[in-house]
A and B are shown apart, each in its own frame.
Chain A
Amino acid sequence: MWEYAPAPEARETARLRSSYGMFIDGEFSESSAESLKTVNPATEEVLAEVAVAAPADVDRAVAAARTAYERTWGPMPGAERAKYLFRIARLVQERSRELAVLESLDNGKPIRESRDVDVPLAAAHFFYHAGWADKLAYAVPGRPDPTPLGVAGQVIPWNFPLLMAAWKLAPALAAGNTCVLKPAETTPLTALVLAEICQQADLPPGVVNVLPGAGETGAAVVGHPGVDKVAFTGSTEVGRQIQRTLAGTGRRLTLELGGKAANVVLEDAPMDQAVEGIVNGIFFNQGHVCCAGSRLLVQESVYDDLLGRLKRRLATLRLGDPLDKNTDIGAINSAGQLARIRELSASGDAEGAQRWSPPCPLPDRGFWFPPTLFTGVSQAHRIAREEIFGPVLSVLTFRTPAEAVEKANNTPYGLSAGVWTEKGSRVLWLAQRLRAGVVWANTFNRFDPAAPFGGYKESGFGREGGRHGLEAYLDA
């Protein structure tokens, strides 16, 4: 038996502080009201106290952003804005290890992912968009002279705290807007370090403001009359509320919401890579991914073979300490999320699906859920329709490519989809018919700042990344 010895990243690398203020007009300040405690979901220990932005703080932040928009950032030549963004990208790279460890502490995700995915991609987003700042004339076809929108209110989720902050801030700033960003209640820390990085980059005060808090703070940001553009990533339910809030105001809105992606494996798939794609699709980041491949659609002729391979692979997944470099599956982000995963999984049992998990001891403290798959799932089951946002895979079958398309599209969501087949024309045939904003063919969960990302149907509207993402921050 070859047990890998623990290989933890040093927690000190995170330079964790006992308290964090909110970032308004270039300075950190204490809350005018209350604070929240952010916990390490792997241990339930309190990591830090974080200031909560009250409505008065939101007013201050929006006013600071407005001033910066009118006096410094808006009038600044794009080439100068670009330099700030390049500098932020470099600073993120320089502090990458610190950010990765802090992210894993606050979020519960494995250090392997925060180190290899979240942080490098965050830096890449700033780097990519930096180059756009002085090339906006090429951003929107037929509109050689686009202008920024003004103050952007941005609310981001807890699943990729730093990366989502980068997705929101980088294009907004490149286009010449200023930002009021609200990180998620359970994961505010890396966004606040990013604010510190903005300071280190000498970003003019008020260009970026970071307001920690819960739903009320978010509602105050998106509903603020001084905000010209709202960008939200999160649940479809909250997305609907925001769309209602902005109804009739004429303010711009982009929404990146939930999903229930089908990952379609055809009989001629590259099976070993398909297994990896399925695992990456649903167990990456504990399944806390809006575009997770949570519905596996397998062609019946290869069902037994694929399921055998998949189960064997699941047995090799290593669940545990997020800071251990060999951990594949970390902690569930919060007690609330864990309860939701448990509730939906219980509904799978109750509705007659068969639950399977590999032998997988869970730590005593913290929020954990083993990698789980359900077989015998039908389209009617809740676990095939509702977003679980956890490491739970629903396995369904189909007989023909047309049936696969029909089942894949049979959902109000439309964020992503996966296709596995070695036949090129079949890839394209399916990719054309899947009603989803991202189609990963013979791969899954790939992200890049140059590749537009966003949903169809109730998965939201607008794109992030690429030229298309930039358009959402321009008045063309």
Chain B
Amino acid sequence: MTTHAAAPGLGTYADVVRDNAALRQFLHGLPGVDQVGAEGRAAALATRSIKKDAKIWALETAIRMVDLTTLEGADTHGKVRNLAAKARRPDPADPGCPAVAAVCVYPDLVSTAVEALAGSGVGVAAVATAFPSGRASRSVKLADVAEAVAAGATEIDMVIDRGAFLSGRYLDVYDEIAAVRQVTGRAHLKVILETGELATLDNTRRASWLALLAGGDFIKTSTGKVSPAATPPVALVMLEAVRDYADATGEPRGVKLAGGIRTSKEAVRYLVLVNEVAGERWLTPELFRFGASSLLNDLLMQRAKERTGVYTGPDYVTVD
């Protein structure tokens, strides 16, 4: 199949996907990432102290950035409906509390989520392409995506073929993303790199660029099924990638962090990373998301504390 048609706005980069050798040369020509330096930078930014109005703004922005997620084998229609209710009104006691960005479910539960969220403005994201391993044939993956889109998913979270990536078959990875891109239609495409399996920050940078070149609207850290998932250095490198990609092409693309982010403190630290690495422009749900479940309740509790001055407890937020 042709690879070029699926990459809108590739512009000056059209040539780098002409064959695997060219793509490899491009990805390996990106500046290296020194792990210790990247970790040091992330750690330094983690010392920012966000207080008062800045904290309230951060907590509310973080709530609006949440992709409220359930990805269990035991998921049911009932579970998804409960989650949708939570997504619409995270804090039943406070109508002023913003809704989350999206609900994220397996493809077979998309229609339930779509129904439950109708008219809310909350998106429905489906993890497709044989999530989380991605170990299925191309046709099965594309069918998975097509069904989710047909069921009304507004966002598709696909996984890349890490095996192909690690064995240097970059063009295969590219082709697959591009192929998925073609069947997502108007749905937004988030490309999960599964950085925990890519092992190095150099690979994270290369995979980020690969996904951006192939047309991903977002690059996403993890499935949540592999440890480590989102980490500050990984977020740093991915934010640098979208920043540099926007510099080069004029197109801002998004970053989604998923897996293991449970506390408001972590979320606010990530927002500092977004602010100081990619830039303020990225401080919006259109360009930054948290894939999370328990994080939302911690954000709500912290928000309540900032508003009331009283520490609250888990009994005062809903468990869905």
A: residues with CB less than 8 A from B are 1-7, 112, 116, 268-273, 276-277, 316, 325-326, 422, 442-443
B: residues with CB less than 8 A from A are 31-34, 36-38, 40-41, 47-55, 57-58, 61, 240, 271, 275-276, 280, 283
Residue of A4, A272, A277 with most chain B CB atoms under a 10 A cut-off: A272
29 contacts between A and B (CB under 8 A): A1-B280, A2-B54, A2-B57, A2-B58, A2-B61, A2-B271, A2-B283, A3-B54, A5-B50, A5-B51, A5-B53, A5-B55, A7-B49, A270-B31, A270-B34, A270-B37, A271-B31, A272-B37, A273-B34, A273-B38, A276-B37, A276-B40, A276-B41, A325-B47, A325-B48, A326-B48, A326-B49, A442-B36, A443-B37
Distance between Cα atoms of A268 and B271 in the complex (Å): 30
B131 vs chain A, min Cβ distance (A): 31
B274 vs chain A, min Cβ distance (A): 9
A6 and chain B: residue at smallest CB distance: B51
Pick the 4 closest A-B CB pairs, nearest first: A273-B37, A7-B49, A271-B31, A325-B49
Structural contact, A269 and B49, CB atoms closer than 8 A: no
B52 vs chain A, min Cβ distance (A): 4
Structural contact, A7 and B51, CB atoms closer than 8 A: yes
B contact residues around A276 at 8 Å (CB): 37, 40-41
Structural contact, A272 and B48, CB atoms closer than 8 A: no
Distance between Cα atoms of A116 and B43 in the complex (Å): 11
Structural contact, B280 and A442, CB atoms closer than 8 A: no
Structural contact, B34 and A116, CB atoms closer than 8 A: no
B contact residues around A273 at 8 Å (CB): 33-34, 37-38, 41
A6 vs chain B, min Cβ distance (A): 8
Distance between Cα atoms of A272 and B243 in the complex (Å): 12
Number of A-B contacts (CB under 8 A): 67
B170 vs chain A, min Cβ distance (A): 20
Structural contact, A443 and B36, CB atoms closer than 8 A: yes
- Contacts A4-B49, A5-B55, A276-B37 aside, 18 further interface pairs with beta carbons under 8 A come to A2-B61, A2-B271, A2-B283, A3-B53, A3-B54, A4-B48, A5-B51, A7-B49, A7-B51, A268-B32, A271-B31, A272-B240, A276-B40, A277-B37, A422-B34, A442-B34, A443-B36, A443-B37
B243 and chain A: residue at smallest CB distance: A312
Distance between Cα atoms of A3 and B52 in the complex (Å): 11
B contact residues around A1 at 8 Å (CB): 280
A contact residues around B52 at 8 Å (CB): 5
B156 vs chain A, min Cβ distance (A): 30
Structural contact, A272 and B276, CB atoms closer than 8 A: no
B243 vs chain A, min Cβ distance (A): 9
B contact residues around A2 at 8 Å (CB): 54, 57-58, 61, 271, 275, 280, 283
B47 and chain A: residue at smallest CB distance: A112
Which of A5, A268, A442 makes the CB contact (< 8 A) with B37? A442
B44 vs chain A, min Cβ distance (A): 8
Which of B41, B54, B61, B276 makes the CB contact (< 8 A) with A5? B54
A267 and chain B: residue at smallest CB distance: B31
Distance between Cα atoms of A193 and B60 in the complex (Å): 44
Distance between Cα atoms of A4 and B269 in the complex (Å): 12
A contact residues around B49 at 8 Å (CB): 4, 7, 325-326
Residue of B49, B54, B280 with most chain A CB atoms under a 10 A cut-off: B49
B contact residues around A3 at 8 Å (CB): 53-54
A3 and chain B: residue at smallest CB distance: B54
A272 with B280, Cβ < 8 A, contacts A5-B50, A7-B49 known: no
Structural contact, A272 and B31, CB atoms closer than 8 A: yes
Distance between Cα atoms of A422 and B33 in the complex (Å): 9
Distance between Cα atoms of A472 and B55 in the complex (Å): 51
A contact residues around B36 at 8 Å (CB): 442-443
A264 vs chain B, min Cβ distance (A): 15
B contact residues around A4 at 8 Å (CB): 48-51, 54
B87 vs chain A, min Cβ distance (A): 24
Distance between Cα atoms of A422 and B38 in the complex (Å): 14
B95 vs chain A, min Cβ distance (A): 24
Residue of B34, B38, B41, B283 with most chain A CB atoms under a 10 A cut-off: B34
Distance between Cα atoms of A422 and B36 in the complex (Å): 13
A23 vs chain B, min Cβ distance (A): 33
A190 vs chain B, min Cβ distance (A): 21
B contact residues around A7 at 8 Å (CB): 49-51
Distance between Cα atoms of A271 and B243 in the complex (Å): 14
A116 and chain B: residue at smallest CB distance: B47
Structural contact, B38 and A272, CB atoms closer than 8 A: yes
Distance between Cα atoms of A268 and B31 in the complex (Å): 7
A contact residues around B57 at 8 Å (CB): 2
A296 vs chain B, min Cβ distance (A): 16
Residue of B38, B54, B61 with most chain A CB atoms under a 10 A cut-off: B54
B149 vs chain A, min Cβ distance (A): 34
Distance between Cα atoms of A4 and B272 in the complex (Å): 10
B31 and chain A: residue at smallest CB distance: A271
Structural contact, A270 and B55, CB atoms closer than 8 A: no
Which of B34, B37, B54, B276 makes the CB contact (< 8 A) with A316? B276
B contact residues around A326 at 8 Å (CB): 48-49
Distance between Cα atoms of A49 and B32 in the complex (Å): 52
A contact residues around B276 at 8 Å (CB): 316
Distance between Cα atoms of A6 and B50 in the complex (Å): 8
B226 vs chain A, min Cβ distance (A): 25
Distance between Cα atoms of A112 and B57 in the complex (Å): 24
A324 and chain B: residue at smallest CB distance: B49
